[in-house]
Amino acid sequence: MKGFLDKMRPAPEMRRILIIWFVLSVIATPLVAIFVGPLLPPGAASDAAHGQQQDNTVMTALVTPIVIALLVYFVYSFISWRVPREADVGDGPPLRGSPSIMGTWVAVTVMIVIFLATWGSYELFPGETGAGGGQGPDPLAVATPAAAKTALRVQVIGQQWQWTFRYPSFGGVETTQLVLPVNRQVRFEVTSIDVVHSFWAIQLGVKADAVPDEANVAFVKPVKLGTFDIRCAELCGLWHGHMATHGQVVSMPAFQRWIAGQRRRWAPIQKYLPPMKRTYMPQPDYRAG
């Protein structure tokens, strides 16, 4: 037993490195979690954004001691063991490895990975809302059954090079603006009528690829009033960089007024729009001429 403990006792250099690492980590990690975390995007404008911010905070905090460990080790070794550049001052000790150190290293990395994977998966399972990401036509993670029933459906249509939005529960009106009521579960059904786009509502923490002939569902619940940016996040041709607009989160009465106004405004074109479907793909083989 004593022999084993002796074997496990770190060399003085290693003890020094471990102490420096421990002190720095204990100081830096909480600071990162408390002060850097809230600054991390995408913010707290929606449940999804908040969840992602939490994820980013935990991962940044987790990475901090690892960064410190590597930096301390490398800097310590550079300072302690550097020799004059060209001089032949002999070789270092012929150490070939240590099973106990390697085993510890493997065990630690495996534990970190298992923690990350378990915890990341947890937010994608039923009962959660899929973290704002596009989940394809059959979402696995759905809002709670009650919220799912009352969720506001919005069809997001990507086209070269503008986003349009259809509200099926309001007569299928199609608009060029995205306005959402606050504190209401929203179910985006993202689709495209030509090439692949990606719908990115930045501050809401929503991203879902817009694929032709496919409804890509993403859930989000905005919790703060204000505007958010929308951009295309998948290269879609000439004006990809300009395929941007703004969305708005407003109170429920304001939303009702807005949607009524939109129905009046777009009334002339309404009869020409196709009936509401999960996708918006007109004549797929349409090669105009």
Partner 1 sequence: MSTVPEAALPATTGPLWRRIGPFNPLTAVILGIVGYVIGADIVGHTLASGVDAQTATDQNDISFILGLLFGVCGFLIGLGFANYPVSRILGREASLREKEQEGLWRYFTLCTDHKVVGIQYLWGVLLFFLIAGFNAMLIRTQLLRPSEHFVSADRYISLVGLHGTMMMMMSSAIVIGPFGNYFVPIMIGARRMAFPRIEALSFWLVPCAEVVLLAAVGARGFPSGWTGYASLSDQAKLGMDCYLISFGLIAISLMLVGLNMLATTLTMRAPGMTWGRLPIFVWGVIATAILQLLAAPVLLLSMALVLMDRAVGTSFFLAGLGGSPFLYENLFWVFGHPEVYILALPGFALALELVSVFARKPIWGYKLAVAGLLGVTFLSFFVWQHHLFVSGINPALRPFYMLTTELISIPTAFVFLNAMGTLWKAKIHFTVPMLFALALFFNFFIGGASGVFLSDTPSDVSTHGSFFVMAHFHYTIMGGLVFAAFGGIYYWFPKMFGVYLNEAIGKVQFWLFFVFFNLTFFPLFIAGMEGMPRRVSAYAPHLQVINDFVSSAAYVLGFSFLVFVFNVIYSCFFNRQVPATDNPWRSRGLEWQLPTPIPVENFARPPVIQGDPYGYGNPEAVPVANLNPTPAEVTAAGG
Partner 2 sequence: MSHRKVGALLATGLIVVGGVLFGLYISLFLQSEPTPNVIAPASAREANLKLQTVAQIGHGPTPDWVSYYSMHDGHWMHSTILHVPAHALIHVTVYEYDGQSGLRNPLWGQPRGIVGGVMDVNGKPLRVLNPALTAHTFSIPSLGVSVPLEGVGDNAPHQCAVAPCSLATAHNTITFSFRTGKPGEYQWQCFVPCAAGTIYGFGGPMQTIGYMDGELDVA
Please identify, using beta-carbon distances, which residue of 1 and 238 lies nearer to partner 1. Answer: 238
From candidates 69, 195, 196, 254, binder to partner 2 by CB under 8 A: 195
Q: Are 218 and 198 in contact (CB under 8 A)?
A: no
188-217 positions binding partner 1, by CB under 8 A:
190, 194-196, 198, 200, 202-203, 205-209, 211-214, 216
Residue pointed to by tokens 């001691």: 65
| Residue 148 binds partner 1, judged by CB under 8 A | no
Q: Is 191 in the site for partner 2 (CB under 8 A)?
A: no
d(CA 120, CA 51): 11
Which of these ranges, 15-23, 75-83, 92-100, 274-282, lies near partner 2 under the rule CB under 8 A? 274-282
Nearest to 143 by CA among 128, 123, 121: 128
Nearest CA-CA partner of 45 in 269, 246, 209, 196: 246
Helices 12-31 + 47-81 axis angle, to 10: 150
Contact of residue 222 among partner 2, partner 1, none (CB under 5-8 Å per partner type):
none
Cross-strand pairs, 217? 189
Q: Site map for partner 2, 161-180, x if CB under 8 A?
A: xx-x---------x-x----
* Chosen residue from 239, 251, 260, 261 binding partner 2 by CB under 8 A: 239
How many residues sit close enough to partner 1 to count as binding (CB under 8 A)? 99
Vertex 190: Cα angle to 265 and 143 (nearest 5): 105
Tell me the C-alpha to C-alpha distance, in Å, between residue 147 and each of 143, 153, 217, 246: 6, 12, 15, 26
| Site residues (vs partner 2, CB under 8 A) | 157, 159-162, 164, 174, 176, 193-195, 237-239, 242-245, 266, 268-269, 272-274, 280, 282, 286-289
